[in-house]
Structure 1
Amino acid sequence: MSGHISPKTTYYAIFGSLMVLTATTVTAAFINLGSLNFPVALGIAILKATLVILFFMHLKYSSRLTKLICGTAFFFLVILFGLTLSDYLSRGWAAAPGGTAGAGTQVTVGPPAETAEEPAGEPQAAPEP
């Protein structure tokens, strides 16, 4: 198999980069960034995946056709994720059958709520006409 042979220093540099990015991911997980936690982690994951695809899978040194096929596969992956996400976000969060809480419903457990009704006592006779 003939192809481009990368020097070992490239692999060591990419490995070091992946380790630094992994440590960055772990550090970012412990920092409260509010709603930015997920985008930061996703961005770091995309960067790590790009490094692996380009260097360890040798896409950087591949032909244009191989790059086109990889890009097309990624394009359709984005479409599938987008369609799935649009379906997920457009659903209502109704209670599940049987009155139990459905997915995405916040359930709080605490003392029973006070009611304004008086407790039931002895049954009363109906008034006579």
Structure 2
Amino acid sequence: MAQNNDNNANVLHPHITPMATYFKVALALFGLTFLTVFAHQFHHQMGSWAAPVAFLIALIKASLVILWFMHLKDDTKMNRFIFAIGFVFLALLFGICAIDFATRVPEFSPL
């Protein structure tokens, strides 16, 4: 006799996402990748906007991967919080490194 584990929180349930959704997300990722290549072709014309455009496209692609392929949109709020804390510490690391580079005094060797 099979045991019904629907009410047991310790049992892992598969995420029921239609295969069509995965194909749509993959198609969007391919499209954004081609958009990245296309934007690179015009990086001289965009000037100082080239880097923010590239980072925006990368942010959208990372969000798609995190939400659908890593199933974070179906996960608990605690797991989302823990995942976000990782990005907070990454931003903190980048910020400290940027402050370090900005405050360095150039040293010249007498040799």
Q: Any runs of at least 4 consecutive aligned residues in structure 1 with deviations exceeding 2 A, and if so which?
A: 89-92, 94-99
Q: Which residue of 2 aligns with 1:15?
A: 26
Q: State the superposition RMSD in angstroms.
A: 1.7
Number of aligned positions between the proteins: 98
Q: Which residue of 1 aligns with 2:16?
A: 5
Moved more, 82-91 or 51-60: 82-91
- TM-score after normalising by structure 1: 0.69
Q: Which residue of 2 aligns with 1:65?
A: 78
Give the distance between the partners of 1:98 and 1:9, measured in 2 at CA: 66
Say which of 53, 61, 79 aligns to 1:48.
61
Q: State the identity %.
A: 39
Deviation at 1:97, TM superposition (A): 3.4
As a proportion of its length, which structure holds more helix? 2
- TM-score after normalising by structure 2: 0.79
Structure with the bigger RCO (C-alpha within 8 Å, sep 6+) is 2
Say which of 35, 44, 51 aligns to 1:38.
51
